[in-house]
Structure 1
């Protein structure tokens, strides 16, 4: 087999376990697989690979490949060399069953190579700040955004991918700047004097609803220097009253009732008894 191997196919990394000093995994190459552990020839390594893969089932081959690339510096280079090594075996045997065996295992390596490259691509995209910004837009709360950014930065520092040489700041610095911006916006929101819940507070009106509406009607009709005390439309005033008051039972006021009372021509709906005269209060 050594003489048949294509010497242009080279494995830069040839991991083995010296069983004299360490326990081997079932899918490890061990010192006994090679004539000289101190200097493992590329041809010997290729022959050992083929010997293992030839008689294994596809699942065993897949487990072996995934185990081997775990400790490699350049897994893609190793997978490419294995792909070429198996492709080199396809046309060397006249037995169609043997040829089919190599074809299936070659296809397995191609799939593993593709999956690994896709995985690397996804991992790299996690450290693309434009992609991070898109993910941030999907998050609402301050804590969710900070948690996401901290996770991305921690993974980046642990993974330490090679970043392209561009004019933009590093990924870690961009994350720091974004976290600083979010923190400042959160601090600013916390310092806002008006509580966001303030607009939900309603005053309870324990009197007749027409008396309340009539008060506001008078503000719209009483003029000072030709200008009404309250200058707005009936729908706007109705909405203000609804958002500001509730009846004696804590229930919302009726918009239709208020609009009717506030119409200038509906004197019949205004209070006959208990009316609060705003003009009298102003004169005092």
Structure 2
């Protein structure tokens, strides 16, 4: 790619990172104010630099210029757009690799800048609420607890606390507040409590599901007649008596067996046999149902 390649599109930078020649302290990365006539020439210099610099120096180039502007996030976003608008400058395989390298550097730098901005924007709590400090940040469980309470998802809470615990354990701590518990221990206790709540919630949910499935609690009813007489009543309602062409009780044999077995006991209080009930209610087993003179004829009662 020739060093005098002319860009086809520009992006308006609200502030430029060019420096006067007498203030330049980095010949390799600096863009001299004397060489910049307007926004277009500034854009041209930025593209020229990322096209000529070795790969290994690109991250330092971006960082250097971010240090020269008041709003580095806005500046780097504009630079990203400038590259995007001039992607035709990166037509060869080598140059496309360079373009992707720049995008990767920009994304990484943007995250770094956002973390720094958020850290500075956040009001530091009083020292009595700070568990520990390192060069990069402070650790306040009181602040963390407040954030966790504002989260609704249990998984999000645990992930956040785990990251805080990991950051603390990996940090080079400069100050520890002797009046407060260990930050890592507090995070772990909070994680344990949340996991306990998850287990309780899960158990309560299962109990509620069982309760809903069981319906209203009841004791099984005792049959003081012959078992086949009761089963025959269900048979009549299912196979012999109809309303608008449909059986009064509709369902399959297994459903009837389940209802009867789960609802009744015999005259001695003993559980009913599902096999016996199924045999009696099966249409082809008429010999197992009551004789006509012992039958409880539902049709006569209706």
Shorter-chain TM range is 0.3 to 0.5
Given the two structures, how large is their TM-score scaled by the length of structure 1?
Answer: 0.40
TM-score by length of 2: 0.38
